[in-house]
Amino acid sequence: NKQQSSLLHYYSECTSEDSQQHGRVSEHEDLPDTPISSAGKTSNSMETMLRDIKQSSSRIEEKINEVTTSISNMDKKMEMFTKRIDEAERWVGDAEDSIQVMETTVSDLQAKIESLQEKADDLENRSGRCNLRLVGLPEGEEGKDPVSFLEDWLPTFLNLPDQENKLEIERAHRNFAPKLKELNKPRRIIFKLLRFRDKELILKQARNLGVLTYKNKTIYLFPDISTNLFQRRKSFNGVKCLRKDLDIPFALLYTSRLCIDFKGKRLFFSSPQDAENHIKMASCRESSSPLREDRPCP
């Protein structure tokens, strides 16, 4: 409406100025009179322009209304998105708090599991501390009563000194692997002694005698260790080969500790990776990093 009024005012001023100039010209000059038809044409053109202005203004208003509506819809959506973002931030904060609590709980559980695993390994090793493995004894030599056979056979076979207490074995059996068809590969016998001192005496006497043979078969006696302990001791095989190549004295102690004699010092390693890193550094440099010293190897 304001635009229409301003345009009408502009065109009225223009027409008034034209009429005044026309009057002035007619006063000063002797010009012929303007025909009446020209005035009619001017009024028709004015009406057409006003009609076009009204149409354009109505279209502008429609576009403005559409823009206003879209802006209001965007405001609603932005408000909704803002609420969702606030909720998401709250959820993320709660999740971070719960994750932190879970991480603390998991770390505590891991520490407890490691402690329980160590205790379980210790109990398993203690339960088998009186066990021995007899390897190489032909199948069937022990008969149906391996306990009585070993109690009578071992003292004679190993020339054990006379003792106040007779050698007593709680139980004995072949391992539970299927019986092999090859007679030269008998299954090993696992037996448990009643007293730990008897186990130590048997191993000591076996070491003193050296190679043991029975009916032209080589016999071996080993301590019976758990599977986990066996795997830990087996992990030092690569390091032991490396020590042998470099001519460094070493010993693998019970349960799974590597003792080496390096430059007059006894060093102990519970991890094969630490021992390997040390020997690599020692081979590249003359001086090595200081390591913790412990009691001497037996």
pLDDT at 3: 47
- Interacting residues of 287 by C-beta distance below 8 A, sequence separation 6+: none
Sheet architecture: strand order including 257-262: 250-253, 257-262, 265-269
Dist. CA 256–CA 1, nearest whole Å: 99
Q: What does the pLDDT look like over 276-286, one tens digit per residue?
A: 777 677 666 54
pLDDT, tens digit, 9 for 90 and up, residues 10-50: 555 555 555 444 444 444 444 444 444 566 667 777 888 88
With cut-offs at 50, 70 and 90, classify the pLDDT of residue 191.
very high
Q: What is the pLDDT of residue 110?
A: 94
pLDDT at 266 over 70: yes
Question: 294: pLDDT confidence band, cut at 50, 70 and 90?
Answer: very low
pTM exceeds 0.75, yes or no: no
Instruction: Decide: 227 and 221 in contact? Cβ < 8 Å.
Output: no
Task: Specify the higher pLDDT residue, 208 or 273.
Answer: 208
pLDDT greater than 60 at residue 93: yes
Q: Is residue 89 pLDDT above 70, yes or no?
A: yes
What is the structure's pLDDT at 25?
42
At residue 172 the predicted structure's pLDDT band, cuts being 50, 70 and 90, is very high
- Give me the chain's average pLDDT, please: 76
Which position has the token pair 């001017």?
42
Residue 255 confidence class, pLDDT cut points 50, 70, 90: low
CB 260 within 8 A of CB 249: yes
Mean pLDDT of 164-178: 86
Range scoring the smallest mean pLDDT among 65-69, 170-174, 181-185: 181-185
Q: What is the pLDDT of residue 139?
A: 86
